[in-house]
Chains A and B, each alone.
Chain A
Amino acid sequence: AQSVAQPEDQVNVAEGNPLTVKCTYSVSGNPYLFWYVQYPNRGLQFLLKYITGDNLVKGSYGFEAEFNKSQTSFHLKKPSALVSDSALYFCAVRDDSNYQLIWGAGTKLIIKP
């Protein structure tokens, strides 16, 4: 069965430091992986996706994510965090045998000045 795990409910990072938000997945076919961000009282905004090819994917607002097939992970990263990055981040996966998008529970990212 398909599943997504975001092992950290909350991640705290000081402004200017690098950040990582973790995501691991389980699918039966080839994975398509997505990251979304949700600011307070807002809908979900698409950040980036992995389809195929280069394992390092670059997205909006300076975020990137690294696909690791052997570890079945797709961690979200940013070299230097901003206070405005504070939000809720969701990882999602879909495989090519099932169009249903499976969502993680979300990770709250707090960037402290």
Chain B
Amino acid sequence: EAGVVQSPRYKIIEKKQPVAFWCNPISGHNTLYWYRQNLGQGPELLIRYENEEAVDDSQLPKDRFSAERLKGVDSTLKIQPAELGDSAVYLCASSLASGRPNTEAFFGQGTRLTVV
């Protein structure tokens, strides 16, 4: 079974430029998460989807970040315009429906973003 797939693995952009990350979750997983992880720190939730609905986007900086999961499967996270402080690893994860809080999330390998 394929795991969570993310692309690209690495991205270097100049500040003020736009960037997009793509995620394909594990088949059958209704819940999809986007996290940001800074070096040496734990993941920070940006947004959580249940199917195509964003049920928790309280930590998403909405002035520059946007996300979509149009058909309830794969998802895209966008930053426009990027700032130097956005440099981090962006992780996508999926799990069975979060209506079961005991379910674990499975993570992709992440996209390392460097803003110069």
Contacts and interface: CB of A to CB of B under 8 A. Distances in A.
A63 interface: no
A30 B97 CA distance: 19
Chain A contact residues: helix, strand, loop or mixed: strand
B101 A103 contact: no
A44 B102 contact: no
Contact of A42 (B41, B98, B102, B109): B109
Interface string B11-36: 00000000000000000000000000
25 contacts: A32-B101, A36-B107, A41-B109, A42-B110, A43-B107, A43-B108, A43-B110, A44-B43, A44-B91, A44-B107, A45-B107, A49-B102, A49-B104, A90-B43, A94-B101, A95-B101, A96-B101, A99-B98, A99-B101, A103-B43, A103-B44, A104-B42, A105-B41, A105-B42, A106-B40
Given A43-B4, A43-B6, 4 more contacts: A34-B104, A100-B56, A103-B43, A104-B42
